[in-house]
Amino acid sequence: MLMPVLNIDNVELFYGFSCIIIAIGLGIISWPLASQFLPNAYASVDSKMEIDLRAICGGRCVTVNWFGTPVFVRNRLPREVRKARIVCIRLLKDRCARNANIDSKALAFDRNRCLDVRSENWLVVVAPCTHLGCMPNVTEHGWVCACHGSSYDLSGRVTSGPAATNLDVPKCVYAVNTLVLGA
């Protein structure tokens, strides 16, 4: 019977190869085991939701549950819009508009953050504070976060506190009296 002869060099090579194969095997086993921790396919699908805007009268801010993500829909009064528009953009902490509906390089002017030109009173922003995800409280000047005091102006732009970015404007479409989130 023919047996393969292993001299000492071959043995070391053999050990090396077997280590590599074991490592690959462990990788193959742990990949599915680890991947199942990631969100499921259902959770990451963008889902559409329709909101009737007639129920929100001027000056009110409503929190909408958009498939688990709270969203602020604020019907701003004309004077609040004016107040949001006179803010000097150079003084802002974050000059990016953060509006998913327009170019990502757009600046944080109020006209880049409200729904569209015809409906400048409506402001739609993803609610959790961009610092650590707490819910900001509605005030007459905008929002103030309950946790660490980040404050946002009437356009959802950060004015002070530890938050570094403006509240995001989610993908949405405005039709007469209705708002479609996630469209």
Residues forming the site for another protein (CB under 8 A): 37-40, 43-44, 63, 65, 68-70, 127-128, 131-135, 145-149, 162, 164
Rounded-to-integer distance, Cα 66 and Cα 124, Å: 12
Please confirm, yes or no, whether 141 is among the known catalytic residues.
Answer: no
In angstroms, what is the minimal distance from the CB of 90 to another protein?
A: 20
Q: Which of 148, 160, 164, 175 is catalytic?
A: 148
Strands (E), the chain: 49-52, 61-66, 69-75, 122-126, 136-139, 142-145, 151-152, 158-160, 172-175, 178-181
Which residue, 66 or 122, is less far from another protein as judged by CB? 66
Cβ atoms of residues 147 and 132 within 8 Å: yes
In angstroms, what is the minimal distance from the CB of 182 to another protein?
A: 12
In angstroms, what is the minimal distance from the CB of 68 to another protein?
A: 5
Which residue, 83 or 131, is less far from another protein as judged by CB? 131
Instruction: Give phi and psi for 23, each to the nearest 5.
Output: -60, -45
3-state helix, strand, coil in the chain (%, to 5): 25, 25, 50
Which residue, 41 or 57, is less far from another protein as judged by CB? 41
Which residue, 149 or 180, is less far from another protein as judged by CB? 149
Instruction: Give phi and psi for 82, each to the nearest 5.
Output: -60, -40
Instruction: Give phi and psi for 122, each to the nearest 5.
Output: -90, 130
In angstroms, what is the minimal distance from the CB of 66 to another protein?
A: 10
Count CB neighbours of 14 within 10 A. 11
Active site residues: 148
